[in-house]
Structure formats: structure tokens, C-alpha cells
Structure 1
Amino acid sequence: MKYYIIAGEASGDLHGSNLIKEIKKLDADADMRGWGGDKMQAAGATLVKHYRDLAFMGFAEVIKNLPAIMKNFKFCKEDIQNYNPDVVVLIDYPGFNLRMAEWTHQKKFKTVFYISPQVWAWKENRVKAIKKYVDKMIVILPFEKQFFKKWNYDVEYVGHPLVEVIESFKKEHPSIKQSSNIIALLPGSRRQEIQTKLPIMLEASKNFPDYTFIVAKAPSVEDEFYEPFLSGYKNVEVISNDTYSLLMKANAALVTSGTATLETALFGVPEIICYKASSLSYQIAKRLVKLKFICLVNLIMDKEVVKELIQHELTGENITKELNAILFDTLKRERMEMDYADLKNLLSKGGNASANAAKSIYEFAKGEW
């Protein structure tokens, strides 16, 4: 069968690649085409557009790049029409993929959404469109099934795909050990967020001369982009395409919001969440988002497991204070480790998420409709 998969970010590329591998175990003749990144391509998909060309962050940035987004949307529709897949699989990336779901529904393509848009955070009315245009919704956060139930929409919870990804990495790299003096910096995967957050993260490094701060570069951003931010720091290093090894070594981490916060927790690394957007984007989000937390770890656990430094709170001084706490307060570290264990148990209840999702998509694609 033919599968058209759309992932617009690094995390979607990761989950899409594992989904492709699992589908191929079930469907030997599977033909994959879509939007994603290097991992999806390596897994066997014909890549039409790389996510590095799609990453626009925040409300203001999206508005500024609207012509490019509309051009991409038009191109994508034409490509799907020409390919004529048995099923379209949309992975997260809601601003683009929900619009695409409306079109694929109208054109009578079977449409699966894997990894729900965060409608529980804001724009809850989007559920009406999801119910109307998405034939099958597969979710990866335990509270999402109950959320959609109140809308009388039955979704399938498959567990979180990061659990098996990280456990597999640990088993494959038993020789990597934690170091007592390494602090990981994960400033994000998009240029705008790196430019905003990395200088503030680095400012704190001056107060910890005995520690090595290692910046994990984003695979979609060129090395040259980082150079102006890094000059002048004696205890700062960089790595490329090796974030998981870094997290296995790190004693603590400064992490921007998003999937990286969950990855860091599943590696058991005490972390501080660093979030800052443009003033316009932040003010709009502040009025629309109705959550107690921005970090996935805290949202899933429904309490503050890790400290969130948001917007004006994100300063070198505050990072220094919180970093001292997670490095040297033994009770705080032990409490965080226990919460991380509970988090992993919650996310493991669905079993192997990628295999579960692949089975669901494969059976849906080959079934009568």
C-alpha cells in the first residue's frame, strides 16, 4: 500500500521514522512518501520537502511567512493528488496538518492523525474540525483519551514513542556513563528560539567555571549559525547529532520547552525549562493558553516536577539560582528522580507506541471504508 506522511518538525521526523520501520514489518510492499527529515528518509520514505524549510515559530513569525506557508500547502495538495495514497498520515504540526486534513477529507483520502494537536492547551474548538475531518486519531499522552471523550470522540492511546526510543538507545550504548561536571544545553531546533534563548543560557555558564556546558546543535541548523553566540566562553563546547549521548553524560540540563523536556526526563537528567518568545507571540499566547504549565513533564504529572523559567523570568541570574538547586540539593534531585520514574510508568502503559500505531494505521488503511 501507499502511505503519504507529513511531519513538519524534528520530533515528527523521529516518530515518523519509527512508524515507517514498524509499518514495513507489517506491509512488505509499503511505499512511503512525504514531508519530514533525514530520519524518515533513512527509514525508507521518499522525501518531498524537508522540515527545515517549514519551521516557523510563534504567531508573529507565522504571519510574516504566510506566503511561503500557502505555497507549501498548494504544492503538498498537488503532490498528494498525484501520488494517490491509500492513507494520509499527519504527524503533529497542527497549523499545517489540520488544514491538510480538511482537504484530504474532501478528496476522500483516508486520513489518520498521529500525535494529537495540543487542543487541550488552547483552541479547544479545533476538536470540532478534528471530529469532522480526521478519520482516526492516535494519541500519545495518557490524559488525551479522557479529554477527547468529553467531546464524544473516540481516540486510540498507544503509549509514548519516546519511551522505547530512549530505552533502545540506552541498551545500545552501555559504555556511556554520567559525568559529574557536564551541563547539557538544548536551546531548540529553530533559529528564532536558539537566537532568543541560547545567549541567556550561556550567560549562566560564567558562574560555573568547574563545569563544561555542552550545546546540542539542531540537525536542521547550520554550524555557522551558532558561532557568534559561542565566542568568548572558555567552558562551553558543542556537539552535533549526538544529543542522546550528551543526555546520558549530563548531570543537569537547560532545555527549551517541547519534546526535548520529555526526552531529558526519560534519561533521568534534572532539568530547568527555559522559554522565551517574541513579545507579541508571548502576549497572544498568554491570553489564549489556559494551562498551569508549559512543560510536558509537568503537564503529564499535573504538578511542578521541573522549574519553568518563562519570558521575563528567564535570566542568567535565575538560571544560576535554579541550577545550583538541582546540582547540589540532594533531596530535590531524589524527588525529581522519583517523579521521573512515575512519569515513565504513565507513558509506558500503552506498550510499544510505534508498533501499536503502525498496526492501527495498517489495519485502517487496508480495511473497507
Structure 2
Amino acid sequence: MKNFHKVKKIVIASDSFKGSVSSIEVAQIAETAVHNIFPECEVLKIPVADGGEGTVDVLVSVMNGNIISCRVKGPLMEPVLARYGIIEDEKTAVIEMASASGLTLVPVEKQNPMLTSTYGTGELIKDALLRGCTNFLVGIGGSATNDAGTGMLQALGFRFLDNKGKELGGGGKILTRICSIDDSKVVPEVKQAKFTVACDVNNPFSGIDGAAYVYARQKGADEQMIHDLDIGLKNFAEVIKNQKNKDIDSVPGAGAAGGIGGGFLAFLNANLKPGIEMVLDCIGFDSLIFGADLIITGEGKLDKQTGMGKVPAGVLIAAKKKEIPVIAIGGCIEEIEDLNNAGFLAVLSLLPYPVTLRQAMNKEFTLENIKRTLEQQFRVIQQFQIK
């Protein structure tokens, strides 16, 4: 490996293989593979995620935190049991928006971003605030909503008023009618809180590349709804500009997750960061990998998108700074040359022969393939290392 010296430390930092094995399970089976070939090698298992599904479990596991279950209002204001994590001396909350306001919580026939609300996400934030949390890491992928975060903000005490000073209800439909904002009843703890939001898109708040036109259709909107939602986003951005002196409409990422990125920016002074960057910063990844001879990373599919904010790309960026080689593994591999050019030492496919999708997603099959693939790679490394 590096200068062909004896391998003393290997870091395992992979994303989950969605629908198959978790990040933690990848790390565990990879450790077995390492020790089968290098019995004395130190293995550091660092489960990681990109700010989306699995982020709460990963950070709670790595940082010895706790999972909090909380009954909140779902996207259609129905009761749902959501969960979030508390880490770092019980001062940092890790929240996945999808847990309370996710598209999977709404039956297909009821998906309608004119009606769905982020209220439950706000309730999770409020619950954590009242437990003493002052730092928030929020993943906003998988939302069912296009309300620009108004529901979340309503749960925290913000009130949105029409042209007669009457308080409005919820859902994307209210955006065209917002004329003013009342923050006199906001939960006071919000003012001391710091919010970091995992955001891997650059969409502006409104317009052809904004929240409604790019994402609302997949949440149940028809063409008229998309048009109306976009008008609403423009109106809300103008109200924010006039009343709060913040122009969020063209800010990259403001359109993320139905505009909740803009809601976080305008009302909670959030910092939008790539999800994997947020996670790696939180766990102190740069320090953890110090002295490593090799890093193993991966995800279910490796292709050009891998280099755009995914876990393996974030791991590679950190490893390059310390000149640590990185091997990536995946169930499906495309554009290998591009991935090698990006800096991966090797990109390895896990499938030993053609299989059905069902078999490829089977947990035991995947775990065995990870172990086999890595053991074969380590045998090559072992042959050329200095004894």
C-alpha cells in the first residue's frame, strides 16, 4: 500500500447500501475481512451517512447518543410517531425531516403539496429545544411538502397572516396569501439555537429551477398546482424581503425540500452545508483517520453522481488531504474511469455473477460479497507489503 509498508491501520467509512445493509453492518463485515487477512491490523469502523435517511442512527451510534421518540403531526396533520437523536452532552439534536414530514408517510392518492405541512418537523425541533438542545443538525431529504417551512415555523410559534391580519392555516396553499409575519410568540429558546442543514442541491427558492417546478410534481402536484406554488413562493420571498430584510429567492439551496431551505435561512439563520460534509465535521473525521494506511468506503451504486456530494466523495476529499488511498465498493458500478480519475485507488463491484435485483438486495448475499471482495483485495495488498 502506501510505499508498500506493512498495513497497520484501515478505516471503514461507508454509506449504507439502501434497502440491503446499513452503514454499521458494512463496517462490521469489512472488519471481519480485514482481520481474516491482517489479524494484527487496527480497524476503525466509522459508519457515515450523507444527511439523508440513516443519518440519525449513524450519528447516535458513532457518538454514543440517544434516540428520542416523539408523537407529532404528520404531513397531513395526522398523528405519527417520529424520532430524532441527541448527541454531544445532550446539546446537539440530529433530525431527519422525513421522519415527521416525509413523502413515505402519505399514501400516493393523498399526496398533495398544496395541503402537506412541515409542522411535525417543527414539533421535533421544539421538543429538542425544550430538552436543552442548542445545536441542530437537520437532514431535509425525502419531504412530502412544498410549504417553504411555514409549517415547521408555525410549530415554533411564528404566525403567518393574510391581508386582513387573520392567521393562516397550513400547507403550500397559504403561500400566495401571506402578507405579514408575526414572531411575537416564537419559542424563546430558538434565538439561542444554531441550525446546520444538510443540503445537497443548489435550487433557488422560486422560478423554473425552484422548489415547485423541480420537485413538486414528485410530491403529487399537477401543472396548475406547480404554477400556484411557485407564485406563492415568490410572494413569500417578497414578504420576507420586506419584513425581515433578507433576500432568499435566488440563494442556492433555498429551494431544497419544498423551500424549507429558504425557511431555515430566513427565520432560523441556518447554515446550509453538503450533507456528508455536515456529518464528517460532526464526528471529527479528519482527526479519526489520522495515521490510516487505507480507507474503505462505498454505497449501493457508484457512478458520476458519486462525486457530487455522496458519502464516498466526502470521504475521498478528506482522505486526499492526508494522502490516504481510498478503495470504493458498490453493488453497481458505472463510469469507472471517471471514478478513478476523481482519485479512488480502486472501484470494486461486489456482484460475482449476474443476479436478479431481489438477490442483489438480499442482506446475507450482500454481506458475503463485501467480505469476499475485500478479502481478495487484501490478499493482493498482503503480497506486496514489506514484511
Determine if the TM-score, normalized by the shorter chain, exceeds 0.5.
Answer: no
**Which structure is higher in helix share?**
1
TM-score (norm. length: structure 1) = 0.32
Which structure has the larger Rg over C-alpha atoms?
Answer: 2
TM-score (norm. length: structure 2) = 0.31
